[in-house]
Amino acid sequence: MEEYMKKNNYGITLIALAVTIIIMLILAGVTISALTGNSGITTQAKHSKTKNELAAYKEQIDLFIADKKMENEEFDEESLFSGKNTLRYNTQNENETGTIKTICPQMKNDYLKRLEIKKGKAILDTKDVTEIEIARSLGINVNPYEISEDGELISSNGNLLLIDTNGTLELPDTVITIGEGAFANTASDGIVLRKVIIPYTVKEIKQNAFNGNNTIEEVEFQTKSGKGVTKIGDFAFANCTNLKSIVIPDTVTDIGSDAFYNCSNMTNIKLSKKIKQISYEMFHSCRALVELNIPEGVTYIGAGGIANCSALKKLVIPSTLNSISDNVFYGSNSIEEINIKDGSGFVYENGMLINKNRTNIYYLSESAVNIETFIIPQGITTLGANLLRNNKIKKVVIPSSVNYIEVDFFTSNVDEIEIATDNPKYIVSNDAIYSKDKKILYMYFSKGSEVTLEDGVTTIGPKAFKNARASIIKLPQSVKELSAYAIYTSYVKKVVIGENINNINRYAFYACDLDLEMKKNNYYIWADGLLYNKDKTKVIECTKNLQQVEIPEGVVEIGDNAFQSRGSIKNIKLASTVSKIGNGTFAGCNGFVEIEIPSKVTVIGTNCFESTNNLKKIVIKKEKESIAGAPWGNRYGDRAIEWNSET
């Protein structure tokens, strides 16, 4: 019995101990919760501290604004911008400097990095939910601009607030990349952009970033210890028609195609010493540019790279240049001086810029083409586009050495072409250039009202009818293929296509306004200005300058470049059955303001909306980012896209 009582007492002691421990843990938990929980003492103390600090800063900012209004009635509250390194406003004395600490002297370093004043408004950069609530309760704005986690300033309406009332855009140093179309054509949003200051932290300026800003006057690239922008994307500063001068820092290694396209008032540009090429149409239509010094290290000039620079007088070519594409100098007819550094692969003699082995002509001076008969020197193998331009040349004599001819080499003034009989590739017959076996038509240059082609021709080459004047073209039954740009003329209004044509390349009817007559063709069908495949499931190309287009039900694909440069189209309705839209399909459709993409679409091709300069609304009936590749070349970037799966 005694032994039993001992065991029983021992058991009670263990139970009591366990109960005591549990009670102590509960009490400890309550205490910790009271101290650290969402409504705990410690947490509340932190919240109170944050609120007091932000309230003090807000009060100091309001007092600063009130003082400035009392000092000068012309003070504009919206002109006040301040941050870690800046302080500026419209009534500021010339020698007055400062930072946000001038306004808030006791500001802590944490807020010094995150609290700014823009257009007179306090703005806090934070993602903390509680801090957001506190800031908003005090009248402090939160995150007015959108920067991704990897530092990309995306295209959004909120980001346009970064532009101050003077039209200055000074980007925060948290930005690493300026996103596609981020500040394209801000004037269309009622915001004038005059000056851009790009901090050294920015590494890349993406496609269309500033495209269409015809009020930009100055772009300042900041560098620090060798750091700065390294890449400028396609069309980044295109159509900035008021930009007069720009200095590209030596940190830049890559400048994309059309980067400065149609900067028509730019008179001077200093290029980075680290670039390797002048890209495709990089300076196209820079009509005020007088001199261009291409830096050492550049090895290649792309097609149209210096085209339509009509005021260009002097060109300096580096010793490193070893390749020039076709059509580089089209429309740049005023070049008087070409300086070529020793070691380059080119020479300039007798008014001709040619390669050293004298096989290619790249530029002809005014004196070289101011004649009626132009004789191509023996040894030349390539006749590139737009070399003769509009002049008084009536006859061209081509030697046996020529093995490649661009139709655009000739102007419409040329009415006689003579080709050496021993030329192994080309022959002239009935006002046309054919392949030696007369299977390929390269160029038809008769100005007659009717087109007469050799029997047996199977292929119509690129731009073959560009210089023709006939209104109707009846292709022989032997023709099987139409090359890209085959019917590239504004004169032709009707083309009769035979039953044997089975290969119509994209762009075949580029920039045409014509009807097609299909005679028993087993591969294609044409209706209401659109060319389809035989079962009418794919739109291949638009052949007319339509204003309204409705894609019929049953069509599942709209082909590459099908509507490219059809600026006359104001509205297009896509069939609900469409699932694929090709590359460049609507590029250059400047009549578009809005387009709706059906829910079945799963693919939109690269640069589908490139140069659709007025397209500011792309409604997509799908979940956000469910189609890859956005914004598909649209100059306004993501701010033009409305994802809507419930529509």
Top-confidence range, 37-41, 142-146, 458-462: 458-462
pLDDT at 243 over 80: yes
Alpha-carbon distances of 69 from 56, 66, 90, 193, rounded to whole Å: 20, 5, 11, 26
**Structural domain ending residue among the three candidates 111, 143, 175:** 143
Is residue 199 included in any domain, yes or no? no
Q: Can you list the pairs that 68-73 forms with residues at least 24 positions away whose Cβ atoms lie under 8 Å? A: none
Alpha-carbon distances of 243 from 194, 246, 261, rounded to whole Å: 9, 8, 11
Give 2's pLDDT tier (boundaries 50, 70, 90).
Answer: very low
Number of domains the chain contains: 2
**Which residue type does 531 have?**
L
pLDDT at 38: 53
First vs last Cα of the chain: how many Å apart?
Answer: 84
Is residue 212 included in any domain, yes or no? no
Mean pLDDT of the 272-292 span: 97
Alpha-carbon distances of 142 from 122, 126, 134, 146, 296, rounded to whole Å: 8, 7, 10, 11, 47
Mean pLDDT of the 252-258 span: 98
Average pLDDT, the chain: 90
What DSSP state is assigned to residue 167?
Answer: S
The residues, any chain, with a CB within 8 Å of residue 567's CB and separated by 6 or more, are 588, 589, 590, 591
Strand 141-142 and strand 121-124: pairing? Answer: parallel
CA distance 564 to 559: 10
pLDDT at 33: 52
**Structural domain ending residue among the three candidates 120, 143, 166:** 143
The residues, any chain, with a CB within 8 Å of residue 633's CB and separated by 6 or more, are 207, 208, 584, 587, 606, 607, 608, 609, 610, 611
Is residue 457 included in any domain, yes or no? no
More confident residue, 508 or 129: 508
Is residue 619 included in any domain, yes or no? yes
pLDDT at 560 over 60: yes
Sheet containing strand 152-153, edge to edge, reads 152-153, 177-178, 204-205, 231-232, 254-255
pTM more than 0.85: no
Alpha-carbon distances of 632 from 156, 249, 590, rounded to whole Å: 16, 29, 15
| Residue 248: how many other CB atoms lie within 10 Å | 21
* Count of residues making up the chain: 647
pLDDT at 31: 53
- With tokens 């032997």, the residue in question is 478
Give 6's pLDDT tier (boundaries 50, 70, 90).
Answer: very low
Give pLDDT tens digits for 528-555.
Answer: 999 999 999 999 999 999 999 999 999 9
pLDDT at 249 over 80: yes
Could you give the residue ranges of the DSSP H alpha helices within 348-471? 366-369
Give 136's pLDDT tier (boundaries 50, 70, 90).
Answer: confident
Is residue 437 included in any domain, yes or no? no
| Residue 231: how many other CB atoms lie within 10 Å | 17
Sign of CA dihedral 75, 77, 79, 85: positive
CA distance 466 to 460: 12
3-class DSSP assignment, residue 455: coil
**Structural domain ending residue among the three candidates 108, 143, 178:** 143
Is residue 293 included in any domain, yes or no? no
More confident residue, 520 or 12: 520
What range does the domain containing 562 cover? 534-647
Cα dihedral value 584, 155, 78, 90, nearest 10: -70
pLDDT at 4 over 50: no
**Comparing C-alpha atoms, which of 445, 437, 454 is closest to residue 409?**
445
**Which residue type does 324 have?**
I
pLDDT at 40: 62
pLDDT at 425 over 70: yes
Give 452's pLDDT tier (boundaries 50, 70, 90).
Answer: confident
pLDDT at 262 over 90: yes
Half-sphere exposure of 595 (CA within 13 A, CB side): 27
3-class DSSP assignment, residue 69: helix
Is residue 475 included in any domain, yes or no? no
Is residue 133 included in any domain, yes or no? yes
| Residue 167: how many other CB atoms lie within 10 Å | 18
DSSP line for 379-403: T--EE-TTSS-SSS--EEEE-TT--
CA distance 11 to 272: 87
CATH of the domain at 551: 3.80.10.10
Q: Indicate the burial class of 199 (C-beta count within 10 angstroms; 0-12, 13-18, 19 or more).
A: buried
Cis peptide before 144 (omega within 30 of 0): no
3-class DSSP assignment, residue 182: coil
pLDDT at 142 over 60: yes
pLDDT at 173: 80
Give pLDDT tens digits for 473-509.
Answer: 999 999 999 999 999 998 999 999 999 999 999 899 9
| Residue 564: how many other CB atoms lie within 10 Å | 23
Phi, psi at residue 179, to the nearest 5°?
A: -70, 170
CA distance 285 to 265: 10
Give how far the C-alpha of residue 382 lies from the chain's centroid of Cα atoms, to the nearest Å. Answer: 32
